Amino acid sequence: MPAIVLSTLNAKWLHASFGLRCLRANLAELRDQSTILEFEISQRPADVAEAILAAEPRLVGLGVYVWNAAPSLQLARILKQVRPELVLVLGGPEVSHETERQPIAALADHVVRGEGDLVFRDLCRAVLAGGPRPPRVLDAPPPHFPELASPYGEYTDTDIAHRIVYVESSRGCPFTCEFCLSALDVPVRKAGREPFLQAMGELLARGVRHFKFVDRTFNLGIADAVAILRFFRDRYVPGLFLHFELIPDRLPEALRDEIAAFPPGVLQFEVGVQTLDDATSEHISRRQDHELALANLRWLRQHTTAHLHADLIVGLPGEDEATFARGFDRLWAAGPHEIQVGILKRLRGTPIVRHDGPFGMTYSEEPPYEVLQTAALPFASVQRLKRFARYWDLVANSGNWLAVLPLVLAGPSAYAGFAAFAAFVHQRTRATAGIALHRLAALLWEWLVEVQGRAAGEVGALMAQDYARCARHDWPEFLRPHVQAEAATRGPAAVGALRQARHRG
């Protein structure tokens, strides 16, 4: 039986916890006395506790994040009620700030704040040796890569075959955006280029094809970014997929050349635009050249095959709906494949709290601590924008409705066009989840044909293109004549299994 269990509740089984693998790799002589047990937030905390306790550990390390904070609290309570002598150690972003105010921290024997790769190892040594115990709350200084053991050997063959593999070539962020925990995560530390590329080669040899980089600023160091891209391009194999977070206004010629050389389906860039308003950027200490960011997005869309996922945030201090709408329209015109409309969260420890009074910021007290209202955005407006975000994800970001989407967005403002449709959908359904594809198709048809007065033949032909492109056969009756006509002109449709493939058409 392992003396140490490393555990967390992932959002989905597909997500293999990178943090747990970093911890286990750095346990040194204690590694063989440890095991990783991962679960999902959909599982009952009692069932998770049962599985953990069945391993009979002396110490449990539990990773706590904003998305699993509530079930983690329930799990911690059960573990300490059933096995009071169990040493419970908490770590992760959620408990690294405002620690003493959290009920889950009161249940723990120890809390490791910050990057715990090495501090957790030392704590385990002390606990298992039975000697004097370290303080209950331990602050971990940021380690540098030469101090750390590689975590990549902790990915199992099952992980490699079926799950997302996370990798990092750097830690830290030089920017100070006040809504983000990375604003506190300094200095930036880079992995040695050659050891990192060697590790990536070993993962490729083991069969990894989906690499998700967790670097906050992948293109901060251009020489390293170029070297990493060239490494993967030189070793291209079918199915290779690389996900990076990009700084939107930093795309020099050397990086452009490497990106443009990749074939379709390989690169995905998450581009954190967040806001396109100068005053809002100043409020949150965000340094960004908005015009250059938009120009770079346009270049990427026009000259590369990279899939572009751009982020905007609702509820930033001082930003009202009209300002957000202008930013949305400008971003959409730049051509990203997806726009993720996120709701501002008051993550523990972030300096965004300094605006609570001046800008009337009110947040939910429950995870994920989303903004409820601001002086510029009343509660009803925030709710409406949340529904906009959800319906946008179902219709636009899904890639299911690329042909018909321009009809929904037609007019001087893409935001206004979709906001009107979103209001219609909510009035009809009173739901933001559980809307089946058939139901969504019927709503699009009703909105465009019956409400907007579009010609049924025009709408039907475009919706038929979407059904054919996504290789679907469960056509609604009202669409069947148009699908049959489309099939006759196009022939068999290619199957696009991935969301990105649907966007490519």
pLDDT by residue (tens digit) across 177-196? 999 987 676 679 999 999 99
Q: Please list the residue range(s) of the chain that carry CATH number 3.80.30.20.
A: 164-377
Residue 187 C-beta-side C-alpha neighbours within 13 Å: 4
Q: Sheet of 307-314: strands edge to edge? A: 165-167, 210-213, 241-246, 267-274, 307-314, 338-343
Per-residue confidence (pLDDT) for residue 476, from 0 to 100: 87
Q: Among candidates 368, 360, 318, which has minimal Cα distance to 342?
A: 368
User: Residue 475 CB: number of other CB atoms within 10 A?
Assistant: 19
DSSP 295-362: HHHHHHHHH---EEEEEEEES-TT--HHHHHHHHHHHHHH--SEEEEEEPB--TT-GGGGGTTTTT-E
C-alpha distances in angstroms, 252 versus 219, 221, 226, 293, 302? Answer: 10, 11, 10, 12, 16
Condensed to tens digits (0 to 9), the pLDDT of residues 238-260 reads 999 999 999 999 999 999 999 99
pLDDT score at 472: 80
Q: Please list the residue range(s) of the chain that carry CATH number 3.40.50.280.
A: 4-145
Superfamily of domain covering 4-145:
Cobalamin-binding domain (3.40.50.280)
Select the CATH number that applies to the domain covering 164-377 from these four: 3.30.1490.100, 3.80.30.20, 3.30.420.40, 3.40.50.300: 3.80.30.20
* Residue ranges with strand state E in 116-227: 137-139, 165-167, 170-171, 189-190, 210-213
- Cβ contact 37:55 at 8 Å: yes
Residue type at 201 in one-letter notation: G
Beta bridge partners of 112: 138
Q: Distance between CA 61 and CA 63 in Å, rounded?
A: 7
Structure-model confidence comparison of residues 214 and 498, the more confident one: 214
Q: What is the CA radius of gyration of the chain?
A: 24
pLDDT, tens digit, 9 for 90 and up, residues 96-114: 999 999 999 999 999 999 9
pTM of the predicted protein model: 0.93
